[in-house]
Amino acid sequence: MSLVLRNIIRRCPWTIINKGSLRFWSSNGQFPSHPMGTEEYENQPRKSITELPDELTEHGIKPKFISGYETTKDGWEWVDNILFKSKIPEPPNHPTPSGWIPPNPILARQWPYFVDRDRFHSYALYVRILPVMLEYWLHEQHRYYLNIFRRRVEYDIYAQRTRRFSLLELISGDIWALDHDLKNYLTKRVELTNDKSKELPILSQVDEIKRHILIDGEYEEWVADFLKEKGF
Amino acid sequence: MIKSLSLTKIFRYCAIVRSIRYFESSSQSSTFSPESSTNSIPQQLPLIVSRQLEYPHIRYPSLQAWLETLGQKRDEKLGIVDLHPSIWQTSPRLDILYENIEWQKTYKTIDWAYTPPHHEYPNMRAKPWPQKGTGRARHKSRYGPQWKGGYKVNGPKGPTSFFYVLPKEKRIEGLCTALTVKLHQNDVHFVDSFDLPTHQPTYLQELSEDRFWGPSILFVDDTDIMPHNIMFACAKTEGFTLMPVYGLNVYSILKHTTLVLTIRALNKIEKKLLHALHSYDTQKDQPPPPPDEP
């Protein structure tokens, strides 16, 4: 028997083999090679390896359980603690020791814009490393996406690493006013520090359709302080 | 508390009432009775004045819309419905709307184009004319790629599918955007139920004309079992479609000019969308969700 056939039969439960619902490749290429993914295969009750007949196990050797087990219903809380839960718990209404601050709705209503929190009750602030579309000739531009090695990312010469951007999402209201206020705040912070990696002027890109602001540089901590001041 | 609508507006449309009670949806199966002239609206109005919303928004209060009926031709409002701003007052993401529509169009398409390769062509060995002496170009067979009616070397091979599944967050955001767009363009109407007094399609057509509901209307109910009268009326009218909540999609919402929802459908849609917006679900780790309540 060929290696391929042997491997297929090894992985198939015996019920399907006996029923004869296996289909192999034909020369036309019309049938699927393996019933994995079909309903009748996937919904089979899974049996342990010990219950398989000897012909379908490797070299005719079957593992055997050495120790027994006993079932209890105590201690479910320890299991429940570890299980994944899709429901996100509601946070408290006071600041937590980790530095998390709840939003202030009274303060947030003053401004003509509003920055919402994500489903985990955190700021929608992210770091981005963006690619650069090099200037290819027109007849070569399709090659950019085909050639993975030539895909380049913006590089910051002074910092000697890839250029980072900070992204602020989930904005509603007047984006341009937010952009104006953000830039003023960040320029003030930059003037206070003597860090040469932070350059002036602060460049930003406003996307009205996607409702986000992209700032050139890593200003996440300062943007978070700005959002805390505004009560978002 | 109602802030956006004044009391005078409510009294103009609704009867004065002493006690307000929440609306308990009545799923009475309407009998096939063309001569029934009973008024399907109950005596006590308004039916709804407020609605409890899950996951209240920090910044924006709930929106409000009228509750109307299909039970009579006269446009009488039965109450006010609260709408959640996360669904009905989003900043509309037109790029995600476009992606949803493109997905709905292309994920079902299969390109059946097939050009057979050279080994599926007949009689490849015959040389059309001798190599030398005739004055014509030298050819090995009549079915080469340069010949008319010849095989193609790198042509389309077999059915190719364009199936892909758009990420869940984009589909949810697309639905929310479509609903906000419809609401703020005055194309959404909320109705207590789809119980009609007659099965005649002219009743529904004249009703929609009087109220300036567009040529195509999408009626959405929570289950796929609809009353007989509206089923008959929509089957005979071009442009009216009945749909359960599980069939709601961006393409249909934008294709039909107006959208008519029942209160039960609204509850179900809001519950599903809000739970999806405020939970973290990885499909691999989670068991399938429990079956929906009727």
Indicate whether B281 pLDDT > 90.
Answer: no
Indicate whether B273 pLDDT > 70.
Answer: yes
Q: Quote the pLDDT of residue B197.
A: 96
Query: What Rg do the C-alpha atoms of chain A give, in angstroms?
Result: 30
Q: Quote the pLDDT of residue A83.
A: 85
Of B277, B186, B207, B63, nearest to A118 (Cα)? B277
| H or E, element range at B35 | none
Q: Quote the pLDDT of residue B282.
A: 63
CA distances from A158 to A54, A153, A197, A200, A217 (A): 67, 15, 7, 14, 12
The alpha carbon of residue B55 is apart from the nearest alpha carbon of chain A, in Å, by 10
Residues of B in contact with A210 (CB under 8 A): 93, 95
Q: pTM (2 decimals)?
A: 0.73
Cα A64 off chain centre by: 41
Q: Is A172 on the interface with B (CB under 8 A)?
A: yes
Indicate whether A226 pLDDT > 50.
Answer: yes
Among B37-46, B132-141, B149-158, B172-181, top mean pLDDT goes to: B172-181
Q: Quote the pLDDT of residue B23.
A: 39
Over residues B56-68, the mean pLDDT reads 94
Nearest residue of chain B to residue A209 (CA atoms): B93
Of B19, B13, B30, nearest to B195 (Cα)? B30
Say which DSSP state A140 is in.
G
Task: Tell me the pLDDT band of B17, cut-offs 50, 70 and 90.
Answer: very low
Q: Quote the pLDDT of residue B24.
A: 35
Spell out the domains of chain A, with CATH numbers in brackets: 107-136+152-230 (3.30.780.10)
- Cα separation, A159 vs A194, in Å, equals 15
SS3 B191: strand
Q: B135 — phi, psi (to 5°)?
A: 90, -10
pLDDT in tens, A12-28: 556 555 554 454 444 44
- Cα separation, A106 vs A232, in Å, equals 10
SS3 B290: coil
Q: Do B277 and A87 touch (CB under 8 A)?
A: no
Q: Which of B90, B93, B281 sits opposite A209 (nearest CB)?
A: B93
Neighbours of A173 (CB within 10 A): 14
Q: pLDDT exceeding 90 applies to what percent of chain B?
A: 64
Sign of CA dihedral B181, B185, B187, B193: positive
Beta bridge partners of A114: A172
* Residue B42 and residue B58 in contact, taking contact as beta carbons nearer than 8 Å: no
pLDDT in tens, A172-195: 999 999 999 999 999 999 988 877
Spell out the domains of chain B, with CATH numbers in brackets: 46-96+166-277 (3.40.1370.10), 110-161 (no CATH)
Over residues B81-95, the mean pLDDT reads 96
A-B contacts at Cβ under 8 angstroms: 37
pLDDT in tens, A153-162: 767 766 677 7
Residues of A in contact with B280 (CB under 8 A): 86, 88, 119-120
Q: Quote the pLDDT of residue A81.
A: 87
CA distances from A50 to A53, A62, A69 (A): 8, 6, 16
The alpha carbon of residue B275 is apart from the nearest alpha carbon of chain A, in Å, by 8
Beta bridge partners of B37: none
Over residues B100-107, the mean pLDDT reads 96
Indicate whether A232 pLDDT > 50.
Answer: yes
| Least reliable range by pLDDT among A105-109, B66-70, B121-125 | B121-125
Over residues B112-121, the mean pLDDT reads 87
B positions 58-97 inside 8 Å of A (CB):
58-59, 90-91, 93-95
Nearest residue of chain B to residue A112 (CA atoms): B59
SS3 A8: helix
Q: Quote the pLDDT of residue A85.
A: 83
Average pLDDT, chain B: 84
